Copies of this chain bind each other. A is one copy, B any other.
Amino acid sequence: MALKLSDLKTSAHNDWCPGCGDFGILNAVQMALAEMNVDPSNTVVVSGVGCSSKVPHFIKTYGVHTLHGRAIPFATGIKLANPNMEVIVEGGDGDGMGIGAGHFVNSGRRNLDMLYIIHDNEVYGLTKGQAAPTLGLGKKTKSLPSPNINQSINPIMLAMASGYTWVARGYSYDVRHLKDLIIKGIRHKGYAFLDVLQPCPTYNDIQSKEYWAGEGNLDAAGKQLPRTYKMEEAGYDGVVHSDDPAEVERKVQQAMLKSFEFGDRTPLGVFYQNEFVSTYGDRLAGHSPSYKTNPPAAQEIALPDGAPLANISRLLDDLKV
């Protein structure tokens, strides 16, 4: 039975500001899940804390709205426990690359098979518009009393440096393209990172919908040129096609160089994709084969009468005097 978009809507009241870019991302996720016909009860959306992190409440799969900055380790625990579940992580840029930067970097080292979507609005929405790590040095959004005194982080570059094996960027008002990216990210075997440009009309008057649409960016004929473009359409191929280390290195470097493009011509699409890296699940199974065949969440641990199923007599034997 095919999943309909409406099957993925919940009864929870959505209290995002009118015009918030979060709506587009929510729609794209729901469209992707519907198109993939996922089993909602085998899917979980895990988030941190922030405006964007309220998103699980609006999607009718399992939803875990966690702590500020901790979406990744919560999701990691869920995926480790139940590797057969579809795990999607979402959260804000402050959540993911401010307070959560340590997890962002170190989870890149694991290559767990999940998708992480950052709502990149360059501000801390829910706490009233302070600068997020993606806001450029000297930028002054309407929420800031004076220009930002921190340099910004480039999420794509940081993801590449951290070892994500699928790295992409989408735009919250290009819902169809975003939906396609989400599907690719979910299908990717390994850790996928999707940075989504998300206008926050309430606090960020710089990276606005109008800005991305090309306001003030006119061609010779005075026509607005949108500030985003699709890399793939421009001939870019981020996919690693063989596990030859030289090819891998080339593609990594290409993605890093590509990540420098930002502003008047901001690339959307897949910067990098490498299906040849073992997942963390594979690696655990290398050490303990039953991790694959009988993963934690699938294991019975006791008989109906409560007798434990684990037999530790071999462990006790080692301790015999």
Interface residues of A (CB under 8 A from B): 97-106, 108-111, 133, 146, 149-154, 157-158, 160-163, 249, 252-253, 256-257, 260, 277, 280, 283-284, 286-287
Contact = CB atoms under 8 A, between A and B. Distances in A.
8 contacts: A104-B105, A105-B105, A105-B133, A109-B133, A109-B151, A149-B284, A151-B277, A158-B162
Contacts of A100: 102
A197 B97 CA distance: 27
Given A98-B106, A253-B257, A253-B260, A287 B149 contact: yes
Contacts of A257: 253
A124 to B, nearest CB: 13
Contacts of A160: 157, 161
A99 to B, nearest CB: 7
A253 B100 CA distance: 26
Contacts of A99: 102
A163 B101 CA distance: 14
Most B C-beta atoms less than 10 A away, residue of A105, A146, A160, A287: A105
Nearest to A135: B109
A97 B109 CA distance: 12
Given A102-B101, A151-B109, A161 B158 contact: yes
Nearest to A280: B149
Most B C-beta atoms less than 10 A away, residue of A99, A100, A162, A287: A162
Contacts of A280: 149
Closest 7 CB pairs of A and B: A102-B102, A149-B283, A101-B102, A109-B150, A161-B161, A101-B105, A109-B151
